Structure 1
């Protein structure tokens, strides 16, 4: 009888402890779950309040219609009407120089590359100056050119004397065309006269005329020309107009001889390797028949 009572007490105690442990587990889970629900509810409430605040701001200030690129546009691009699309923004969030009319944008030039849907403002654009009446195209084959120069690049033309004196001759000129070391640019009458003086100066004093590329031409200001036209040279030009042509011819020959010296420094092996790289980059895949393409035949026979 005593043993049965003792065993019953142990069972009751064990059941009580099990119930307490189970109750504690459920209570802890309930507390954690309640906290999670409170956190989620707070986050949802915060988002709703932010959206309500945005709607209030929009309703107070209203919206404005601006214009943005329809696609990614590069720096220096002349904007056309079809390049832009309308965008609506809250009035209080746009800069003061936003442009509300396509007519204010069309024909202007981008200072920077812009991704689509970027609001266009006055600070992002600039306008080309009207074409002067005395502007002319000038071909120049006597200028020492950078190796990376390409058409539409912007450069300064400088003159350097053997004494180390270096002057800006022409400032921020666009390369209209580039062919076989000859560049074409537009010059006004004053620039043509200054260039003629510099050509004769370089011829008489063994100076060099060379070009330097701008890094960010749409952002960098135009340099101020510092080359002083030589009065004695100008008088010489008046007496003998043909001296400019002779000087230009001599400078062109000097520039060409420098180019040929660089080309002579390239070994036959280097030239063949370069031709092989160009061939592999441009020729179509070789067919299974083993036929050799025309381009490959040319490359193979060119060393002879």
Structure 2
């Protein structure tokens, strides 16, 4: 079965999207998935998280979008093995933010990423694309390369508006490029069930997105921030406590749900039990 390509995005920053992409990838590897992540954000936070501060990539997603002569499979030349077990990466660099201004008017530029990734579905079971927190050439390129999108949001009004803008980008991809992108749902992060404001905002999300809202969420736990600081998956922390077990449990449930919704099939099926 061909691998699945999934964009993860929102129009608002600070929703833990990049950290979640890295952790979904890490948990997918535990389940037997051949996993590739693609960094389409000029901040390159995903690349830094997986490779370290001193990483200097030779070929990046910026190069893929800049090339008018891109051919099927060219993305393979940009793939590097990361410091996280089993995860491959196509990195980003700051120059990516110039692609829209310098190349945005060129014919077919938005399809270059999709073209470059052709053929990699046979090599990977799962490809995750991290995107910038804005509607952009990078997001459009990611959507045109993807089977579907997972929208990540924190429980506030701005993130809800951002999620709607991503939905608009999905509709634009269908209308302008004749490319249908499945919406795998809207996932809330940084949830604190003790806060009335979060419960109220969740109800607002449910009203806005209906069946697209995930029942599960990522609860606000210090373990997520510690894991990011240590540059390890949340299940790889050196010191384990109740919060880290809860964070891992949330991650496992989210990946369970994503695999069902997206039809992800690991090459070597294994069992991962939640915390």
Same structural fold, with TM-score higher than 0.5 when normalized by the shorter chain? no
Larger Rg, first or second structure (1 or 2): 1
Q: Which structure carries more relative contact order (alpha carbon 8 Å, separation 6+)?
A: 2
Q: Which has the higher strand share?
A: 1
> Normalising to structure 2: TM-score of the pair?
0.20
> Normalising to structure 1: TM-score of the pair?
0.19
